[in-house]
Structure 1
Amino acid sequence: MAPPSAIDIEGVTDTEAIAIPDPLSINGIASQRLKAGRLIAGTAAGTSSSQFKSPTIGKPKAKRWDHYLTVESKSRHPSALKGAAVHLKKPGLISLGGGIPLAENFPIEEISVKVPTAPHFSEKEARETGTVLTAGKYDASEGSSVYDLSIALNYGQGTGSAQMLRFITEHTELVCNPAYADWGCTLTVGSTSSLDKSLRTFCERGDVVLAEEYTYSSAVETASSLGLDFIPIKMDSEGLLPEHMDEILNQWDEKARGARKPHVLYTVPTGQNPTGATQSASRRKAIYRVAQKHDIYIFEDEPYFFLQMQPYTGPSSPSVPAPQSNEAFLRSLAPTYLSMDVDGRVMRMDSFSKVIAPGTRVGWITASEQIIERVIRANESSVQNPSGISQIILFKLLDEHWGHAGYLQWLINLRMEYTSRRDVLLAACEKFLPRDLVTWDPPAAGMFLWLKVDHTKHPAVSTKPLLDIEEEIYLAAVEEGVLVAKGSWFIAQRGGFVSQELFFRATFAAESEEKMAFAIERFGVAVRKNFGLV
């Protein structure tokens, strides 16, 4: 049975009188879909966010970024084979043009997954009362779904499937509501791939990128392989300091620095890895103003955005109750750079890795249509699109099963889970760590606790390099039976910058609550021993 071969909308009768609510609400999305009609998107169907966005009347257009696009990015041309897919919607067309295999030769007839049913999200509930979702090979042709294995298992477009792109576009509008008109999304193979594409689009070899002084180590390594260096911006408990960013840019001397003035900022604004810092609304606005002043393009990397937790109330105080509705949850979230971006100078990178599962390898980028088009061209000649099996499983779970409302309930559930785990780790720190030597700021988001060790009190501080003391504590912790990450692994500027402070990163995402308490107790023993207190 042949699958549908192009994207289209099948008209739905008797919808003319539908009053569409505010599109930036879950009911608005449902009504918008009903008004639009049934989505028909077949194998390798071309698609874009413009097909699924609500009207953008009154919003400005994004700036153009031709002056920052790299030689590599400018040299990319549309795929001739991918572009030919536009003709597949012609009725009666027989295609001998593309090497798209017949679905009858795919040895997978059906897949099924068992998932929780909102709001019963615990592993025990999912095991006992969860729902089994099934995807067959020809569900779309037979009318039981808009997405099936004949489509998902075949070649796709650089945007990802229309079915997942629709959900992503609606979700982005619901959460971020971009402030300009010509924005769009494209799927990617996770955030690291997103960053690789972003750097290749904006940075030539020899360029430098602004970033927090401590940042995600894989981001540094991705940039390094492209011939790029990170320039560290000082931080406090809210993340990077806009005044230091402004100072760096005001005083930039290309001859002395050996590089042109930075034009890209890489930042993890929420639950920053490794420090756990979360930028407040006022901090983000201040950073955005500096970016406007110096014409900086912002890479907003937000894998931990939905791991924002309830306020920390202390080891013996009752926790703050969960948000009482999806709307209250959305209102509680920190504003995004994308939501305040009137210029189109922000590329937001999202991922399902931290909120569904890392192995899905599905993320997405949101930016102006000019930049999205460049990223799609890069996808076409590299990863093509995320795994079709991952996309159809996510579609079944998020779109057909949970819907936007159920997905937000899942995210609320995650918020409370991570709040509980963070509080357990902090209580263990209060109980087992020597407070005169180890200090920390309770994180408001993410999955990391940044522990500062006062090395000035170490008995060998005058005779041993700081990195040697760090290594000794690290190995002593391993000897006691706990693994923590060394702060030096996360230094943004490799080679030229030497930290004057000593940090370790602990996560509250990886182990049971009981094991986390044991781990912190062991780390406390290691620190005391290394400082000669035991």
Structure 2
Amino acid sequence: MGSLHPAEKPKAIDLSHHLNNLSRSRHPSPLKDILKYMVQPGMISLAGGLPHPSLFPFESLHTRAYAPDSNLAPGETKHGVVDIHIPQTSASTSNIAIALQYGPGTGCSPNLVSFLREFTARVMQPAYADYEILIHSGNTDGWNKIVNLLCEFGDYILVEAHTYPSAQALWAPMGCKGAPIAMDGDGLLVEDLRRVLANWETDHPGVRRPKLLYVVPVGQNPTGSTMTFERKQAVYALCVEYDIIICEDDPYYFLQLPAYAPPASRKQESQQDEQALLASLVPSFLNLDYQGRVIRLETFSKTLGPGNRLGYFVCNPIFAERLLRATEVTTQTPSGWSQAILAELLSAWGQSGYLTWLRNLRDSYAIRRDWMCDLLAERFDLENSPVPTEGVLAFAKGHGSRADRKQLFSFVQPKAGMFLWLKLNLIGNPEYERLRAAAGPNVEAQWNEAFWMQMIEAKVLLTPGSYYTPWEGRDPSPNRRKEEGVTYFRLTFAFESHEEMRLGIDRMARTFELSWNLVA
């Protein structure tokens, strides 16, 4: 569907029955109506309480940005700059008078919205014609607005078995609960999603079936998994069958990495042209969405900096109009500074230049991913798991060929994003076996907390996997499959230098060896 000419694509179907009571009750802000009349030629406004732009204490903004083809490889000198100049007033470019003024909830920079609409059509290729672009203040803000668009108090939300904690911290106070869907190395499992939906009335008598799926399909946080296109197709088909809205939270979309290869077999990849880059990306859910049931959350946080606090929705017109009503009375228009700066930067780079920047950014994260996988291979004995979706198995260094070896953990070499997910095998760990013999409650949680503190004492900080456990209420579903003898930790390869990463992996390995009594 995504490759059709826009004139051949269907329009979004009517999904207004998904709107919650709060969203249905919103009315346009009458004060925002004034703004559209104020810009009419010849209009003399004695209505709006807008401060006069001559009283803003900024005459102009001049900043320098990297050129889109700059070398972003770690340790390399970045070459080339682009000068960005934003005057106080201007008829043809972004200007301070507009950027710092009250503005419409759609965004105060028509140039930025126009750029993003062209970029969406070019890269994402939505399968329906009448999608809308609406600026928001980053994906956290966007997800907040989606929850307040679709969810009633006490609703269940379909989530991955390991899900982003801030996303659920938002809806937990509403009495909402997560319905976790099992995952493997390629993301959520279609068969488990089908099982949960097909058995909902039996497993949750009298409880409304979830109508919203929250998913991070690329470089998933925390597991680093990336869904294949075939799996996305199957998930979308199920969501059509059961009338589910998909929130596609996709901050790592352009950090889709080439497959990991050991240093000895690693080849220097030649620079890709634009078409090769786009062909290497797993298509978005938007590319499958011929009904308008996907709300895509886009953000500049991972590509141009989280402090910009800027992103955008791609969604059907009904949802966009309701999201706009909410924006008018909550955040109002996102930061005018950010909109003006990014509008001018992206205009200077152009569509192809932005894609070049994203390609170079991806290549830089691929180097960092390789660092971490290389260092794990140096510090542990690794072998491929017989189950491909489990990736590789890790043993203490020098123990990989021993008959009494103990598997410490497994992980999947990330194909996207910033994270590597360790699945620890606690069977045979002395302290875990002692706790299990004592038959105390929450044995895995007790062990996990103690081991985490041991790593902190060793001056290496990982994120406990327990942070990403879906909230199912105080009494989790009896159908939830508890993993005995298993716990998780998340590592990131995004931030530290190679030497700092090496030191951190060394400290982590030493902590494993001490905990498993494997010190020579």
Decide: shared fold, TM above 0.5: yes
- For structure 1, the residue ranges without an aligned partner over 5 or more in a row are 1-22, 25-53
User: SS at 2:318's partner residue?
Assistant: helix
- Structure 2 equivalent of residue 531 of structure 1: 516
Contact 1:121 1:410 in 2 (8 A): no
- Inter-partner Cα distance in structure 1 for 2:70 and 2:209: 52
After superposition, residues 75-224 of structure 1 pair within 5 angstroms as: 75-122=25-72, 129-140=80-91, 145-161=92-108, 162-224=110-172
2:421 aligned with 1:450: yes
After superposition, residues 352-371 of structure 1 pair within 5 angstroms as: 352-371=300-319
- Structure 2 equivalent of residue 349 of structure 1: 297
Residue by residue over 1:269-318, the C-alpha shift from the partner in whole angstroms, topping out at 9 and shown as x without a partner, is 00000000000011100111111111111000000101111121124322
2:283 aligned with 1:283: no
Are residues 440 and 177 of structure 1, via their aligned partners in 2, closer, same or farther at CA, if it must alter by over 3 Å? same
Q: Which amino acid aligns with 2:513?
A: R
Structure 1 residue 124 displacement after superposition:
8.4
- Structure 2 equivalent of residue 402 of structure 1: 349
- Structure 2 equivalent of residue 237 of structure 1: 185
After superposition, residues 251-266 of structure 1 pair within 5 angstroms as: 251-253=199-201, 256=204, 259-266=207-214
Larger CA deviation: 248-257 vs 500-509: 248-257
2:507 aligned with 1:522: yes
2:360 aligned with 1:389: no
Q: Which amino acid aligns with 1:354?
A: K
Structure 1 residue 503 displacement after superposition:
0.9
Are residues 488 and 322 of structure 1, via their aligned partners in 2, closer, same or farther at CA, if it must alter by over 3 Å? farther
Residue by residue over 1:298-340, the C-alpha shift from the partner in whole angstroms, topping out at 9 and shown as x without a partner, is 0000001011111211243224515521121111110110111
Residue by residue over 1:152-207, the C-alpha shift from the partner in whole angstroms, topping out at 9 and shown as x without a partner, is 11011111122211111111111111111211110001001111100111110000
Contact 2:35 2:104 in 1 (8 A): no
User: SS at 2:200's partner residue?
Assistant: coil
Contact 2:105 2:327 in 1 (8 A): yes
- Inter-partner Cα distance in structure 2 for 1:460 and 1:258: 43
Structure 1 residue 493 displacement after superposition:
2.8
Structure 1 residue 527 displacement after superposition:
1.3
Residue by residue over 1:504-533, the C-alpha shift from the partner in whole angstroms, topping out at 9 and shown as x without a partner, is 100000111221121111111111111222
- Structure 2 equivalent of residue 295 of structure 1: 243
* Among candidates 365, 368, 374, match of residue 427 of structure 1: 374
Q: Which amino acid aligns with 1:484?
A: L
* Among candidates 471, 475, 482, match of residue 449 of structure 2: 471
After superposition, residues 259-338 of structure 1 pair within 5 angstroms as: 259-319=207-267, 321-338=269-286
- Inter-partner Cα distance in structure 2 for 1:265 and 1:527: 37
Q: Which amino acid aligns with 2:377?
A: E
Larger CA deviation: 103-112 vs 454-463: 454-463
- Inter-partner Cα distance in structure 1 for 2:39 and 2:471: 51
Contact 1:323 1:329 in 2 (8 A): no
Larger CA deviation: 485-494 vs 370-379: 485-494
Q: Pick 1 or 2: higher relative contact order, CA cutoff 8 A, min separation 6.
A: 2
| Percent identity for Structure 1 against Structure 2 | 37
Residue by residue over 1:96-142, the C-alpha shift from the partner in whole angstroms, topping out at 9 and shown as x without a partner, is 121122110100111122111231244988777423322110133xx
- Inter-partner Cα distance in structure 1 for 2:271 and 2:12: 34
Q: Which amino acid aligns with 2:329?
A: S
Structure 1 residue 259 displacement after superposition:
2.7
Using the size of structure 2 for normalisation, the TM-score is: 0.88
Larger CA deviation: 516-525 vs 203-212: 516-525
- Inter-partner Cα distance in structure 2 for 1:297 and 1:55: 25
- Aligned pairs, how many? 478
Using the size of structure 1 for normalisation, the TM-score is: 0.86
The CA RMSD over aligned residues, in Å, is 2.0
- Inter-partner Cα distance in structure 2 for 1:251 and 1:322: 49
- Inter-partner Cα distance in structure 1 for 2:271 and 2:137: 31
Residue by residue over 1:189-242, the C-alpha shift from the partner in whole angstroms, topping out at 9 and shown as x without a partner, is 100111110011111000000010001111111121332111100001101001
User: SS at 2:451's partner residue?
Assistant: helix
Contact 1:310 1:415 in 2 (8 A): no
2:410 aligned with 1:439: yes
- Inter-partner Cα distance in structure 1 for 2:292 and 2:466: 34
- Structure 2 equivalent of residue 20 of structure 1: none
Residue by residue over 1:468-505, the C-alpha shift from the partner in whole angstroms, topping out at 9 and shown as x without a partner, is 11112211111111100000110113542655321110
Structure 1 residue 388 displacement after superposition:
0.4
Are residues 151 and 124 of structure 1, via their aligned partners in 2, closer, same or farther at CA, if it must alter by over 3 Å? farther
- Structure 2 equivalent of residue 30 of structure 1: none
2:364 aligned with 1:414: no
* Among candidates 476, 479, 484, match of residue 462 of structure 2: 484
2:430 aligned with 1:459: yes
- Inter-partner Cα distance in structure 1 for 2:174 and 2:63: 39
- Structure 2 equivalent of residue 41 of structure 1: none
User: SS at 2:45's partner residue?
Assistant: coil
Larger CA deviation: 481-490 vs 428-437: 428-437
- Inter-partner Cα distance in structure 2 for 1:321 and 1:489: 37
Contact 1:351 1:363 in 2 (8 A): yes
- Inter-partner Cα distance in structure 1 for 2:71 and 2:115: 21
Q: Which amino acid aligns with 1:446?
A: G
Larger CA deviation: 219-228 vs 84-93: 84-93
Contact 2:35 2:103 in 1 (8 A): no
